Structure formats: structure tokens, C-alpha cells
Structure 1
Amino acid sequence: MPHAMDTNRPQKERFLRAMHALQATSNHALQVASPLLEHPGGLGPLTGPHLHHLVQQSQDLCVELDRVGHLLRFQQDQLLRCIATPGGVRGLHCSLDGTLYLTFDESPCVQILDLSGHSLHSLPCSLPGTGAFASEDVTVTGSGLVLVSSLVHRAVYAFHHLSKASQGEWVKILTFESPRGLGVDALGRFLVADYVSGLVHSFSVGSTFKAIGLTTVPGLCGPRYVSNGPDGGFVVSEECGDVHLFGQAHQLLGSLGSRLEHPFGNPAGVCTDAEGNIIVVDEQRKEVILFPRAGPPVRLVSKGLQRPTGVACASHGRLLVADNGDNCVKIFKYQV
């Protein structure tokens, strides 16, 4: 680390000098201009075209400073550790307390780990009388209710603790044509990406594990993963397509690709961090991109990934990426 600090010192000093010069010049211009602009004489020899040019340059500079601010706040390719997994990861969820929930390609269970990779618990995905079911994605509410989707069995299941002393059991909540990605929005409603139907379903679960207030958002093409979004909405990725943003009332707000002219390859896992930044895994391009609330996208991970699919945020600026090419979950540090 000291070597890296010494290497970057000339660039840091150059940047600080540039910022100080900009601040000093803008403060001087403001001190000179303020009393003159308040005088009845008006703008003096300052012409309209000159003023237009100044305004445009100021706007461009503000955009560039915002971009620089984002780049300073984030880190790239800072791998902290890898957690080995028994095969490919299908679903990835990280709770606020740092508990990691995983589902796998060939293992019908939900594996619960800490962020050091130590196993805490395992929930076999099996129904009494019908046997095991294949689990696709997993999500967990703030109260600890675990939900999984099953593409093969066309259903969403919840894990019900019968009592503190019992192991609990799975309960079927709803049946859909092709449920894949799961999420929970800011209001605690569950989100289900219905792949073949091109739908996203939203609902709550009552005390008797019945779905309440089921609503459906149509018009998508191969929705793959879904997550809570900024301002109470949600965000959903389309296979080999785009990433769409929806508002709290389920209205379409646009897409990241078209809004920012960002070319996606195959967007997969999506999540939103505590600051409202949207983070997307691009499986084809083997990268992870952060889309801030304002400003251009930032590549958080651009090397070292083989086949990334899922993504989740953890505390202290950590990012979890399921890399099925390496059969592991990779933890990165993405915030300074």
C-alpha cells in the first residue's frame, strides 16, 4: 500500500492543484461580477453569444466534475476474497447483517453462509409427499422470511418456521409460468420475474402464507433478474436486452441502455445499493457496471470474471459477484 500511495502522489498533487486553481478563479470571478451585475449598467460589453458560450462551458465542466467525483469515490477490481461453491450459483442474496443465501444448479437447497464463507445453515428444498424441487433464485425479507423460485416446478415457495424448536417446512405461495429472479421492493412487496411470459409480478404475503394484492407488469422480453430500485421502484434485467427502471406505482421510467447509451451484452444480476446506485452484471462482457443516480456509468469490475451472473451489495462498500466460470462468489471492495 505505501508503494501505491507513492506512485499516485504526483497525480494526486496535480489534481489538487487543478481543483484549487478552479476554486480560486471562480471565487475571484464571482467577487468581481457580483457588484457589477447588481449595477444598473447591466452586462457591459458581455455579449449574448459570449454569455451562451460561458453557460455551456460551465454546464460541461459541472458534468465532468460530477464524473470525476464518482471516479474518486469508487474502486475498480479490488478483489477481497473468493468463497468456493459446490457448482454454479443460481440465486444470490445478502442480508443487511452480512448473511449470504445461495441456491445452486444441481443442489436442491438454500445454503446460508457468512461473508467469510463459513456455513451457518442449510435449507433442503423439499416438500412433504412430493420430494425435492429445483431452486432458481432466492430472496429474504427484513424479518427473515426466505423465498425461492423454481423454474422447473413453476412456483414460488416460502420457508415457514413452524416453531423455534422445529426445522420448518416449505410452503407453495403462487404458481407462475416461468419464475426466475426474485426481489423485495422498498415497501416489502415480493417481485418475481416471469421469464417466458415477459412479466414482473408484485405481491405481499400474509400471515397464512397467502398472496395479497397481486399485480402484474407486462411488456418485457425475457426478464431475468429483478431487484428493488431507487425511490421505491424496481429494476429488471432482460436476457440479451436492456435493464428497465420502474417507479413505485409500477410505471416504466425508461432503460439504462437507452438513457445512457450504454451497450449491454447480456445483463444478468442487478441490485441497488444504499445510495440508490444501480449495479448490473453483464454476463457476456464479463464486467460489473455501476449506474449512479446522476452521471455516466462506472465499471467496478472489468477483469478477473469468467461467467458472472448474480450480484449483491454488502455493508462497508463490499460487492458480491457470483462467478459460475470459477464456481465461487467473489467479494470486491467497490467504495472508498
Structure 2
Amino acid sequence: MDYSLETTRRKENLLRAVRNLQVKSESTLQKASPLLSSHQGMGMVKECHIQQLAEKTKVICHDLENIKNLLYFRQNNLVLQIPNPNGSRYGQISRIHCSLDGTAYVTSENGPWVHLLNRSGQAFQSLQCVDWGREKEHFLPEDVTVTRSGMVAVSDMLNGVIRIFNPHSKFSQGDWIKIGKFDSPRGIGVDSMGRILVADYTQGKVHIFAVDHAFKVQGVHVISDLCGPRYVSSVPDGGFVVSEECGDVKYFGGSHRLICSISNKYGYQFGNPAGVCTDPEGNIIVADEQQRQVVLFPVSGSPVCLVSEGLRRPTGVSCSSFGHLLVADAGENCVKVFKYKVKPYSNPESPRIASENSNLSPRERLR
């Protein structure tokens, strides 16, 4: 059978199935509503019938969410491959962050640089990672993000500090300002309130704090008892997600309370979760370094594998506001850009928090 004819037939079958559910449920509702409102009893309907219907409805709603997700998301749709701006001189590409305007910030494992790439993958600016102290010393950025004011921030794991690039310093090439003191700052991110998130690997903590105009740390809050936190990313509703080297991803709400373990909530087994990010709709995306794939965990429905082939060692992942997924593949020393949606769209009112809170008591929702 011709592919177009087969596709048309499948579309018709899907639409017919969904339409039948819609018509039947509307018909039942129209007949049941006046009976339930005008009669005191339940007729012959027993509690077991209600429970059976509720369970079947739950399954059908879950199946419909999965169908919607499978229609909307795309798999292995590679549109661009960008070589490491450093070449192979400083080792493999390591981390990537994409800003709202589409600029990608890239670091390498042993490279004292942060390269800025445009949407075409061309490097248009390079920030040299130099400490202009008593002696000129280079440092290695472990992870990279952008602050609310538009400044580049990196984690310096070897020196145990966060550094923010100040282009208006007395040095012609700009200056990196040292912030805080940590044991082993690995991942770095910025939450929806503009606070900096730092994953402290050996301490098993995530540090959350604000930085004022004078680069002073304010309002420090610490999340403890994590198992090897690697990388961290904000969630649109105010929380954040953090990947753990021991094989899980944790999701914390805006009040810094643990919402869920991703592996437990979705019944999913990670290999070695590395890079993690969220898109504007609140979907959580994880690069699994061991399983060599990128998986999306939707607000509703089952996990969706966005990239299942062509990756050798995915270490970083980031979403652009233009509907693309950027993956740092250290195994091939490049950034791979995938189109993972049918078309880009943005819903500023992410339903993830509302979905998670639906199972909480009123008192728990206010915590």
C-alpha cells in the first residue's frame, strides 16, 4: 500500500476512535445528568460500577495523553550538527546552554573558553576564562548559564567557586567575578526568580541564592541529602530539577520542597542521567549518558524518547525557544540540534505544578 494512503487510513482510524469516545461520553452525560439531579437514589448503579468506570476512565485519559504526546513530539529529527568551536585541542565538548534569543553557550572539558554560537551554529564571540589576580591564570568552566541580567555565569569546580563574567570591568577583555565558596560546584542554573542554582557534587547539595548588583551573595538556601548531584535546571513554575549520578532526577517545587523522584513517578530506570533541562511547557528533558539517549518526561503521560540513535556520549542538553533541542555529544565532540516538536509554541502557564499539586491536601499546597 502507498505510504500516503496508509498514513491517511491511520489518521482516519485515530480520529474515529477519539470521536467515538467523545460522542459516547457526551451522550451518557446528557442522559445521566437529569436522572441524577432529579432522583434521590442511584437506581441499580453500585459502588463497584463507579469504581470500575473510574479506573477505566483513568486508563483511557492516560492513553489519550500518550497519543497527544506522540503526535506532537518528534524522534531523531536531526537538523544541524555543529563541531566543537575548540576543535579537539581542549578535549571533548561538555556543556551547553541556550538563551531565550537562541544564542548557545558551549564549554569543553579542558578548554578555558565559553563560546557563543548563533542559531546557525557559528561562533560569533569567545570568552576567555582568565583570572586576572596577582598572576594571570586560566580556569576551566564546568557548566554554564546566563543570569537574569544577561551575564554569563560558570561553575569552576577545581577552584570551588562560581564566576560571573563582567564585561564592564577595568580589563579590556572583561573580568570574571568570583562568587561564593563551594566544595565541588558542578552544575549551575538560574531559576525563574533570577536566583542562581549550584549543584555541589561531593556535598550532595543544591545551593540557591541571589546576587546583587555588587556581586554579593544574598538569601542562601540549601537543599541537602542528594546522591551525587550533577546538573541542575529551572522549571517554569519556580522550581528546579537536578540530575543525580546515582541514577535519578529529582524535581523540587518553588518552595524548595521535593515534589517527586522522576524515576519513581514515571516508573523509568535511568542509566547515568547527565544534562537536564525543561522547556517552556514544563516538560523535563534528560540526557542519559550511559543509555545514549534523550528522554522527555511530559506533564501528563508516559516518557517519550526524543533521541534514541546517533548519540555516543550525551553530556549536556538545552531547549531553545524556537522549538529545537540542543545536545552536547562528547563522544563525537559536537552539538547536535534536533527538531523535537511539530511546531514551536510557548505556554507561559505550565500545568506541571497544578498537576503535581492536584494530589496534595489544601494544607500541603500552601507549604
| TMscore range, shorter length | over 0.9
Cα distance change on mapping 1:57 and 1:209 into 2, 3 Å: same
1:98–1:154 CA distance, 2 compared to 1 (3 A): same
Shift of 1:215: 2.2
Report Cα offsets for 1:180-220 as digits up to 9, x if no partner.
Answer: 11000011000111111111111111222222222221111
Measure how far apart 1:51 and its partner are.
3.1
Given residue 89 of structure 1, which amino acid in structure 2 is its aligned partner?
I
Structure 1 window deviating more from structure 2 (310-319 vs 209-218): it is 209-218
Superposed CA offset, 1:259-288 (max 9, x none): 222101100011111011111111111111
Q: Which runs of 5+ in 1 are unaligned?
A: none
Cα deviation, 1:138-160, whole Å, max 9, x if unaligned, reads: 11023211111111222211111
Q: Which amino acid aligns with 1:144?
A: G
**Superposition RMSD on alpha carbons, in Å?**
1.9
Count of paired positions: 334
Counterpart residue type for residue 65 of structure 1: L
Q: Show the counterpart of 2:82.
A: 83
> Which residue in the other structure is 1:124 paired with?
128
- What TM-score does the superposition give when structure 1 sets the normalisation length? 0.94
Where does residue 52 of structure 1 map in the other structure? Answer: 51
1:165–1:10 CA distance, 2 compared to 1 (3 A): farther
Q: More deviation in 4-13 or 238-247?
A: 4-13
Structure 2 vs 1, CA of residues 12 and 165 (structure 1 numbering), >3 Å: closer, same or farther? farther
Query: Matched residue of 1:232: which SS?
Result: coil
Taking structure 2 as the reference length, what is the TM-score of the superposition? 0.86
Distance 1:178 1:40 in 2: 67
Counterpart residue number, 1:8: 7
Contact 2:94–2:329 (Cα < 8 Å) also in 1: no
Partner of 1:73: 72
Which of 129, 135, 138 lines up with 2:141 in the alignment? 135
In 2, Cα distance between the equivalents of 1:176 and 1:147?
15
Aligned partner of 1:246 in structure 2 is: 252
- After superposition, give the CA deviation of every residue in 1:246-267 in whole Å (9 maximum; x if it has no partner): 1222222221012222101100
CA distance in 2, matches of 1:208, 1:157: 13
| 1:300 and 2:301 aligned | no
Matched AA of 1:293: V
**One of 266, 272, 275 as aligned partner of 1:266:** 272
**Secondary structure at the residue paired with 1:303?**
coil
Q: Supply the AA of the counterpart residue of 2:93.
A: V
Match of 1:105 in 2: 109
Q: Describe the shift of the 1:133–1:165 C-alpha distance in structure 2 as closer, same or farther (beyond 3 A).
A: closer
Distance in 2, matches of 1:5 and 1:115, equals 33
Answer whether contact 1:196 1:222 (CA < 8 A) is retained: yes
| Matched residue type, 1:334 | Y
1:110-164 deviation per Cα after TM superposition (whole angstroms, max 9, x unaligned)? 0011121111100000112231111111110232111111112222111112269
1:73-109 CA distance string (max 9 Å, x none) = 2111111111111242222110000001011112211
Change (3 A) 1:173 1:52: closer
Q: Secondary structure at the match of 2:237?
A: helix
**Are 1:181 and 1:193, in contact at CA under 8 Å, matched by a contact in 2?**
yes
Whether 1:275 and 2:281 are equivalent positions in the alignment is yes
> 1:1-336 alignment to 2 at 5 Å?
5-40=4-39, 42-85=41-84, 86=87, 87-128=91-132, 129-162=135-168, 166-336=172-342
Deviation at 1:5, TM superposition (A): 4.9
